[in-house]
């Protein structure tokens, strides 16, 4: 059984043909696609960190800056390690591994510079990217609900409308809670948590209006 995309690519395509990718080029492309953000701070997202960590996990030992294991550079070879060069950005200043996009952003960008995001702005951006759909019903998808619930889970307690646990607003602070303002849309009218995109759509949009989707139409849309 084929074990990975490199093996399948090598099996299905003749890599001796000029212009076709070699296994080494495929590895380099996988690392690039997962980890590259150029000098664009807006591309440093949690999704990038997750994908890059996954691709780089087995080759962080290539770098002298990595302190959580012994070097594997002599074992795997310099050429192999060079294919994973971008992975070094996932190593923290103390030799550990970057855990989230805020940590990577702070490491790679000088946040004392004018115009560069602070940790609070990064949190607000993460919430916005995960949860914002404006007044556009077509953007209310299961993917949005899943991402928004993940980002908001620990701060739903900021809102009085949430009744599944006691308020944490006094504990975490007014300013912290304000960063998660968009998360309140994930709270149902009875104080629970929205379970799927159909429930969120029905809550946020008046489906009795002609032209708006009914739950049945939304199910049909998801299947389609």
Q: What average pLDDT does range 55-74 have in this prediction?
A: 94
CA angle 182, 145, 196 (to 5 degrees): 125
Q: What average pLDDT does range 80-99 have in this prediction?
A: 94
The pLDDT value recorded for residue 21 is 80
Q: From the CA atom positions of the chain, what is the Rg in Å?
A: 22
Distance CA 137, CA 212 (A): 9
The pLDDT value recorded for residue 161 is 93
**This prediction's pTM:** 0.48
Q: How confident is the model at residue 42 (pLDDT cuts 50, 70, 90)?
A: confident
Q: What average pLDDT does range 138-149 have in this prediction?
A: 95
> Of 184, 173, 175, 118, which is closest to residue 151 (Cα–Cα)?
184
Q: Which residue has the higher pLDDT, 210 or 25?
A: 25
Distance CA 159, CA 155 (A): 8
């Amino acid at each position: 059984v084929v074990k990975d995309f490199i093996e399948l690519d090598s099996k299905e395509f003749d890599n001796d043909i000029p212009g076709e990718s070699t296994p080494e080029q495929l590895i380099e492309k996988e690392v690039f696609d997962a980890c590259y953000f150029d000098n664009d701070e807006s591309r440093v997202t949690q999704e990038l960190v997750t994908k890059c960590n996954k691709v780089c996990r087995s080759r962080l030992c290539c770098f002298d800056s990595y302190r959580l294991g012994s070097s594997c550079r002599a074992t795997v070879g310099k050429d192999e390690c060079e294919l994973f060069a971008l992975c070094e950005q996932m190593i923290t200043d103390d030799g550990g591994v970057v855990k989230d996009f805020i940590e990577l952003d702070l490491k790679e960008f000088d946040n004392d510079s004018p115009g560069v995001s602070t940790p609070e702005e990064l949190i607000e951006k993460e919430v916005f990217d995960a949860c914002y759909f404006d007044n556009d019903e077509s953007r209310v998808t299961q993917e949005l609900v899943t991402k928004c619930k993940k980002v908001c889970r620990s701060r739903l307690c900021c809102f009085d409308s949430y009744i599944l646990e006691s308020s944490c607003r006094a504990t975490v602070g007014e300013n912290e809670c304000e960063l998660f303002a968009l998360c309140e849309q994930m709270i149902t009218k009875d104080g629970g948590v929205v379970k799927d995109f159909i429930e969120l759509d029905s809550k946020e949009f008046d489906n009795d209006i002609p032209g708006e989707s009914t739950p049945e139409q939304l199910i049909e849309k998801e299947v389609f």
